[in-house]
Amino acid sequence: MQFVSRNALASALAALCLPGLAWAQDATPATKVSAQIFVNASQLDRDGVVSADEGLAMDLKRTFITVDHRFNQNWTAQVTTDVQWLRNSDPTDVWLRHAYLQRSFGKGTWLRFGNAPLPWIQQESARDGYRYVDGALITRSKMGNAADYGVHGQYTRGDFTYAASVVTGGGYQKPRLGDHPDVEVRVGWAAAKGVELALGGYRGTRALDSGDMPREHTAQRWNAMASWVGERGRIGAQYFYAEDWTRVVKPGSDDQRGWSVWGSYQLSPQYAVFTRHEETRMSLDINPLNRERYHLVGVEWKPNKYLRLAAVGKQITQETATARKESHEAGLWAQLAF
């Protein structure tokens, strides 16, 4: 029987363990849990009248709880729950916002399988920067879905980013299948530092032609956006034109149109001012006099990396052939992220 000296044994163990220790120091956690909460307390009045139902109240606009899991350098997965409770609503809305598997092919290039963000709304929110106060133009006008079930891809080459999704069309809030898949695409060009020019489009039936609901029209939407994001400021504008977005299973064609401009400026690391104005016309053919104008102004305070707090005023004016209505809302909006 041979015996190994203690020094030789220690040297052998060190040779085996050191590579593992080095890997452990460089490795990141395989699973990460994060959360975002959007909440506001505000007073809403319509045509100068504050009713008992529309006075000072709180809204839990969104609670996102996200679990990210990294299998290896190429494969990851994400699951995000979405909870909403609005004033005078019962019950609380709970959705599965994201649930997808991702295969990465390098920086900015990937494929996603499942319920994932669609190309346009994800980027419009990122360029605007104040999603916790209100969704941007396509979100607020309900001219698209933030996420949907299907196959999603993105390819980045140089200053250009190409993204496309082939989806059910029903969206993540009310998942359903139509007779045919819908398609959304987006092309972004980083023309200069902080500047992005983008074009996009959507075509499909929005999963409305399921069962015994015959398709009358195919919904189409075209988008354009120009934006700049700097160290202390943001400015941007976007436009959409759509055909038959609301007439997929209804006779008679109708078009929609809208535009939006926004800007913000960081006065200091803690304080910023921001504003946005948009106008939408959701029935250019059937009710061409219908129009909505939306405007907001706000001041934001960021005391730390977890909290954003904004004092905001909003005004919405709605016009039809026979009436004009105006509503005002003012209060505090907050985002808590950790």
72: CB partners within 8 A, 6+ apart: none
> What's the whole-number average pLDDT of the chain?
89
Q: Which pLDDT score is estimated for 51?
A: 52
Q: Which pLDDT score is estimated for 54?
A: 61
Q: What percent of the chain has pLDDT over 90?
A: 79
Alpha-carbon distances of 45 from 39, 101, 283, 325, rounded to whole Å:
19, 44, 26, 11
**Distance between CA atoms of 272 and 268, rounded to whole angstroms?**
7
**Distance between CA atoms of 334 and 20, rounded to whole angstroms?**
44
Q: What is the pLDDT of residues 35-46, one digit of tens each?
A: 999 999 999 887
Residue 13, H or E segment: helix 6-26
Closest C-alpha among 225, 119, 125, 217 to residue 166: 119
**Distance between CA atoms of 283 and 245, rounded to whole angstroms?**
10
Q: Which CB contacts under 8 angstroms, 24+ apart, belong to 307-315?
A: 307/334, 307/335, 307/336, 308/132, 308/334, 308/335, 308/337, 309/333, 309/334, 310/130, 310/132, 310/133, 310/274, 310/334, 312/40, 312/42, 312/133, 314/134
**Distance between CA atoms of 240 and 51, rounded to whole angstroms?**
35
Q: What is the pLDDT of residues 244-284, one digit of tens each?
A: 999 999 999 999 999 999 999 999 999 999 999 999 999 99
Q: Which pLDDT score is estimated for 3?
A: 33
Instruction: Check if the beta carbon of residue 141 is closer than 8 Å to that of residue 280.
Output: yes
pLDDT band at 28 (very low <50, low <70, confident <90, very high): low
On the question of pLDDT at 171 being above 80, the answer is: yes
Q: Which pLDDT score is estimated for 287?
A: 96
Q: What is the pLDDT of residues 188-201, one digit of tens each?
A: 999 999 999 999 99
User: What are the residues facing 292 on neighbouring strands?
Assistant: 280, 318
